[in-house]
Structure 1
């Protein structure tokens, strides 16, 4: 039995753990374009201000330990479900008997003039955080604007402030951290951010980023201009689905799965924030970036790949702040 897992995030890690616990004895190949793989993603903002080193963000265990595993550093470019083949950027072709798609999501830039170019970053990977830190040191950055007041934006703002920068957090909704926090909780958290020195602006959007000699100079927020040399964009993510074009895998916003997290194609499962599922509280289909949901999905998918028949419990769009 040959299993291929695309992705090295927590959904993939949980799947590997479940497979090992179930006594899986086949060959497992993990394909990832992240370097390094297998790290604790919630810790990456701490790389910005040096609270943690890259080594300290790595998982304390090897997810492939105890398995006949192979780690391939590459990018999947296409999937052929009829031939059960994955095409890689290196032109290598992998065959599989069972496949888990745990490709995660990528940040989406809002339509703001001037965002393209030097000094604008997203914060999704350890490499992103290290690039932000290096830019701050190289350019002697004094002020930053963070676009997006969700969990990622708040963590980025806190890290930038700890790094000694003047920080402005911009959120288009009336309060930050939606939907993880209600208005009352968000008010308390906003106050604590302000006490830490972060300027919090809600109910407004960025309209333009101006540059001088190619470098960020200011950000227009509503009628005001905020001086800054760095912008972090945390306004949302989109599932990584590009490699599925031309395949027969069904997807809308994310990959569609049944209660066993199996796709419409035989032998293929999906887990994590590449999956579109029905959220029980709001009774609507959605994609969740929550760590806890990714872990739960990975465990179910891994057990099912190993030959069990597990059902995914109801997922809820809730968070811990």
Structure 2
């Protein structure tokens, strides 16, 4: 039995290891379009903030060590760009621009998600970032080192946004969190979120609730975040943390069913 797994971070790497534990005989090929697998997503903000000093601590496994430990063919910098479900084949695009076809008996999709980047004016300005993977982390870290960020605006009051608020504050920046809703951490009740609001204010983090961002502008090294209310904030760096969208392009191209929440449709066993 030959398994191909698309995506090598949390879901894909975990599935690959589990399949190997269930059988010694299977051939397992793990494709990851980035250069890292099985890294600690939750640790990324803490590396940016300097709480985690050693970058290597972000990595649970290297591709080489993971492949050797579980006898898995790990292929990084390899993006699966097409699926032929009838022929049971995938087309793979490599970092050097080549393409090839790989066959499978069973295919597992774990492509993850991508950050939401709304088409706002000035959204492509230098100094505006999203945080999803190690490459994003390295870009933010390098920018902070080069530009000495003293003021940071975080758009979005979810988990990553608040972790970044904590860590940018730890790194010495003045931090403002902008949230369109009337509370941060939308999944919890307002009464619980109120405790988070109080804590943020105690830590001297500016909280801008019920404010919608209209656009961005940049003059020299300074960014301006413009709200629909007419208010604006000055910043040296902006982090967008307004949610993610499931990566479904590969599945859609292959004609797979997309679920009501716009993710890949699965059964009760995923």
Q: TM-score, normalised by structure 2?
A: 0.90
In the TM superposition, residue 229 of structure 1 has moved relative to its aligned partner by 1.6
User: What does 1:94-113 align with in structure 2 at a 5 Å threshold?
Assistant: 94-113=102-121
Moved more, 5-14 or 149-158: 5-14
Q: Gapped runs of 5+ residues in structure 2?
A: none
In the TM superposition, residue 50 of structure 1 has moved relative to its aligned partner by 2.0
Q: Are 1:223 and 2:226 counterparts? A: no
In the TM superposition, residue 185 of structure 1 has moved relative to its aligned partner by 1.2
Q: Any conservation in 2 of the 1:249–1:255 contact (CA below 8 Å)?
A: yes
Q: Gapped runs of 5+ residues in structure 1?
A: 262-321
Moved more, 45-54 or 148-157: 45-54
Q: Any conservation in 2 of the 1:26–1:68 contact (CA below 8 Å)?
A: no
Q: Tell me the distance in 1 between the aligned counterparts of 2:66 and 2:189.
A: 36
In the TM superposition, residue 112 of structure 1 has moved relative to its aligned partner by 2.3
In the TM superposition, residue 249 of structure 1 has moved relative to its aligned partner by 1.1
User: What does 1:299-318 align with in structure 2 at a 5 Å threshold?
Assistant: none
User: What does 1:1-321 align with in structure 2 at a 5 Å threshold?
Assistant: 1-52=1-52, 53-59=54-60, 63-64=66-67, 66-73=69-76, 74-90=78-94, 91-179=99-187, 181-213=188-220, 215-221=221-227, 222-252=229-259, 253-261=262-270
Q: Tell me the distance in 2 between the aligned counterparts of 1:177 and 1:168.
A: 15
Moved more, 87-96 or 227-236: 87-96
Change (3 A) 1:216 1:32: farther
Q: Secondary structure at the match of 2:253?
A: coil
Q: Deviation per CA, 1:186-229: give whole Å up to 9, x if none.
A: 1111211222221111111111211114x552112332211102
The residue that corresponds to 1:283 in the other structure is: none
Q: Deviation per CA, 1:64-93: give whole Å up to 9, x if none.
A: 455331111111111111111111222122
- Number of paired residues? 259
Alpha-carbon RMSD across the aligned residues, in angstroms, is 1.7
Q: Any conservation in 2 of the 1:119–1:229 contact (CA below 8 Å)?
A: yes
Change (3 A) 1:60 1:33: closer
Q: Secondary structure at the match of 1:75?
A: strand
Q: Secondary structure at the match of 1:255?
A: coil
Q: Tell me the distance in 1 between the aligned counterparts of 2:67 and 2:198.
A: 43
Q: TM-score, normalised by structure 1?
A: 0.76
Q: Tell me the distance in 2 between the aligned counterparts of 1:197 and 1:130.
A: 27
Change (3 A) 1:132 1:250: same
Q: Any conservation in 2 of the 1:25–1:67 contact (CA below 8 Å)?
A: no
